[in-house]
Chain A
Amino acid sequence: MHNEKKLDFASEIRKALHKALKSDPRLVLMGLGVNDPKGVFGTTIDLAKEFGSIRVLETPTSENAVTGIGVGLAVTGHPAVMVHQRLDFFLLAMDQLVNSAAKWHYMYGGQSSVPITIRLITGRGWGQGPTHSQNLHSWFTHIPGLKVVMPAFANEARALLAASIADPNPVIFLEDRWCHVQQVDAASLDDSKVIELGKASVEVEGNDVTVVAAGFSAVESLRAINYLQKYGINAELINLRTLKPLDAETIYKSVVKTGKLLVVDSGPKISSFASEIISLVSTNRFTSLRAAPVAITAPDVPEPTSHGVTGDFKFGADTVARSLVEIVGSDNSSIDFSQLRNTPHDVPNSTFTGPF
């Protein structure tokens, strides 16, 4: 059950939705589960009580039509936020996303825009398996007209969702299920903070190597980078926040300083977002690079379910740390990478007890 005192990424998402519904009486929030007892992992809990079950609408299990209905609402003056408890379910809605939402403003001569935000939750661990854990953020960046936002930390979740809802374009807002349970200290939150879409954040400054990541990959990269500092390795972490439009300048600036690049991407390797970052840096800052760029990605294999193998299948903070040590050419004999492994490997922290 949702606890008002507990502050985490999920409660920050709820805070953004609450504020948006309150400040814009035209806004509609809809999806399967928005008004159920669990409220989409606590992110929508009790919102229908305050704003009514028309504006906070339970929907049929009709991902494609609901997306189109959101487009219809949006083009007639009612911005919409939609949510899917797994990104994988939303694959049924590609026609409305790609043929309607993404192209609408362009295709109809710039007369009518589609202010919708589509929250997609990516499953991870606990046997989510081949069709509940797909990281397809790279797909969405390939479609002209979409914006793609991928928050990592609890203290940016509210502001990034608020900016997405305020944006006049269709925004894909990707939430890793493991980000949801990341706790946050109330003192580190600023409810008036504004974050612009299309701007990356330099989370840690360092001179040895540039690490580019988004979503939960940025959370794991941060753990690895913090851990390696005591071994004298100083990596710079760029948390992308928005994949599209991409803040390439912040990446370039860092690579010019460090000369080395590691991209950490939860998606499968082929045509990954890591490939795009490496392509951009190689093309535009070739002479700044002092070593070949490195990508850590998921393998080009559907994800297995068994927790007997997922520990080795998924990369984690230890994988990132090993890669960083190799890139900077340090001696790794004294480094205990096992400290960076989650135990057990298939939960984000002790608050997560399944089932999804």
Chain B
Amino acid sequence: MTANRESLFSLFKLAMRIRLVEEQIAAEYPKGEMRCPVHLSIGQEIVSAAVGLNQLSTDTAVSSHRAHAHYLAKGGDLYRMIAEILGKVTGCCKGRGGSMHLIDLQCGFLGSSAIVGNSIPVGVGSAFSHKLNQTDDLSFVFFGDGATEEGSFYESVNFAAVNKLPVVFVCENNLYSVYTDLAARQPEHRPIFEMVKAMGVNSLHIDSFDPINCFEVITRAISDARSSRTPLFLEIPTYRWLEHCGPFDDDALNYRPAGELATFKAQDPVAKLQSKLMDTFGVSQVEIDTALARIKEEIIGAFAAAKNDPFPTLDESMADTYA
């Protein structure tokens, strides 16, 4: 997929769809109807959108606790996700998983996990299946910088390297594990992607604050991985605008240096992409507004439908311990 008017407008719409869903969740959350932890991706959307546009429906994906964006970008059903967060029986896990456990097998989204690093080997196992099945499919594994401190990460990267598995590791480095910054967790001058390169995996560092370049580099890298059938690691610096868990801004806690949040907000890749679309690719304000209005309408509809749905009964929640 080359970066042109059409593909970049798709990228923008996908990123904005994720942002508007997350904003609606943040707006609704204080009402107390979404009674489970939510980890929102506002500020980080471009990564999921850029990867998502390069995923085939037969590709598989897994993610972590901050999974809404990856699920939506893979093609996960919006209404079933909202129903899940509301705890409704129509949710993608029948209300058993909540925001941190999302699944949509129709689009190959295998699951997301609330345990940091937990879904990484599962994604590698899915890549092993692709290899056994001799298809062109890839397995995408989404996680944050914190997960690269878990043993499961090293074990999984090593396994994928030694067995030459078709897996794309996508590490969104947002600098913080909850409130603890990277400097307290990993040594200086040892970038994550360099470490993974030393483990024998093709590794790239991609600036997501330059959205068009980000999209182009990701597109090429995924296309190469699809033909080489070997693992690929992408470290993509990004930035979370809201609190680690929950709907609010948490800048007042002062765990981030003063002004850092504002600096990153000024670098918003989605806003930059919109400007570029309008200035260089001739997309009009009316086109933008029409696209966003359509997305908002869909989101309002999904919330309305999900809120109307029943909760699971206790009997329903006692089923399925075994297949």
Give chain A's interface residues, CB within 8 Å of chain B: 26, 28, 54-55, 57, 59-60, 62, 64-78, 80, 95-96, 99-100, 104-115, 144-145, 147, 168-169
Inter-chain contacts of B322 with A (CB < 8 A): 105, 145, 147, 168-169
From known contacts A107-B96, A107-B97, infer whether A69 and B124 are also in contact, taking CB-CB under 8 Å: yes
From known contacts A68-B125, A99-B115, infer whether A112 and B110 are also in contact, taking CB-CB under 8 Å: yes
Say whether A71 contacts B121, CB under 8 Å. yes
Say whether A60 contacts B162, CB under 8 Å. yes
Say whether B94 contacts A72, CB under 8 Å. no
**Binary CB contact string for chain B from 99 to 129 against chain A (1 if under 8 A, 0 otherwise):** 0010101000011010100111111111111
Cα distance A104–B103 in the bound complex, in angstroms = 11
From known contacts A72-B126, A105-B320, A168-B323, infer whether A95 and B118 are also in contact, taking CB-CB under 8 Å: yes
Ranked 6 nearest A-B pairs via Cβ: A72-B125, A68-B121, A65-B155, A113-B323, A62-B155, A110-B320
Say whether A78 contacts B129, CB under 8 Å. yes
Of the candidates B94, B113, B115, B152, the one whose C-beta lies within 8 Å of that of A109 is: B94
Cα distance A110–B319 in the bound complex, in angstroms = 8
Given contacts A100-B113, A110-B94, A112-B105, could you give 14 more A-B pairs where the C-beta distance is less than 8 Å?
Answer: A57-B163, A68-B156, A69-B159, A72-B62, A72-B122, A74-B125, A75-B125, A76-B129, A78-B129, A100-B118, A108-B92, A109-B97, A111-B103, A144-B321
From known contacts A72-B121, A108-B97, A109-B103, infer whether A169 and B323 are also in contact, taking CB-CB under 8 Å: yes
Cα distance A80–B321 in the bound complex, in angstroms = 20
From known contacts A69-B121, A76-B125, A110-B94, infer whether A105 and B321 are also in contact, taking CB-CB under 8 Å: yes
- Does B198 sit at the interface, judged by CB under 8 A? no
Give chain B's interface residues, CB within 8 Å of chain A: 60, 62, 91-94, 96-97, 101, 103, 105, 110-111, 113, 115, 118-133, 139, 151-152, 155-156, 158-159, 162-163, 319-323
Output the least CB separation between A64 and chain B (Å): 5
Cα distance A240–B34 in the bound complex, in angstroms = 45
Q: What are 19 contact pairs spanning A and B, CB under 8 A?
A: A57-B163, A64-B151, A66-B159, A68-B152, A69-B125, A72-B139, A74-B125, A75-B122, A75-B126, A106-B320, A107-B93, A108-B101, A109-B93, A109-B320, A110-B323, A111-B103, A144-B321, A145-B322, A168-B322
Output the least CB separation between B108 and chain A (Å): 9
A245: nearest chain-B partner, CB-CB: B322
Inter-chain contacts of A77 with B (CB < 8 A): 129, 133
Cα distance A126–B105 in the bound complex, in angstroms = 49
Cα distance A138–B92 in the bound complex, in angstroms = 33
Say whether A73 contacts B152, CB under 8 Å. no
Output the least CB separation between A13 and chain B (Å): 24
A59: nearest chain-B partner, CB-CB: B159
Output the least CB separation between B155 and chain A (Å): 3
From known contacts A59-B159, A145-B322, infer whether A99 and B125 are also in contact, taking CB-CB under 8 Å: no
Inter-chain contacts of B124 with A (CB < 8 A): 65, 68-69, 72
Inter-chain contacts of B120 with A (CB < 8 A): 65, 68
Inter-chain contacts of A62 with B (CB < 8 A): 155-156, 158-159
Say whether B96 contacts A145, CB under 8 Å. no
Output the least CB separation between B215 and chain A (Å): 28
Cα distance A69–B127 in the bound complex, in angstroms = 9
B96: nearest chain-A partner, CB-CB: A107
Output the least CB separation between A170 and chain B (Å): 10
Output the least CB separation between A183 and chain B (Å): 35
Output the least CB separation between B132 and chain A (Å): 6
Say whether A73 contacts B129, CB under 8 Å. yes
Say whether B96 contacts A109, CB under 8 Å. yes
Say whether B321 contacts A99, CB under 8 Å. no
Inter-chain contacts of B92 with A (CB < 8 A): 108-109
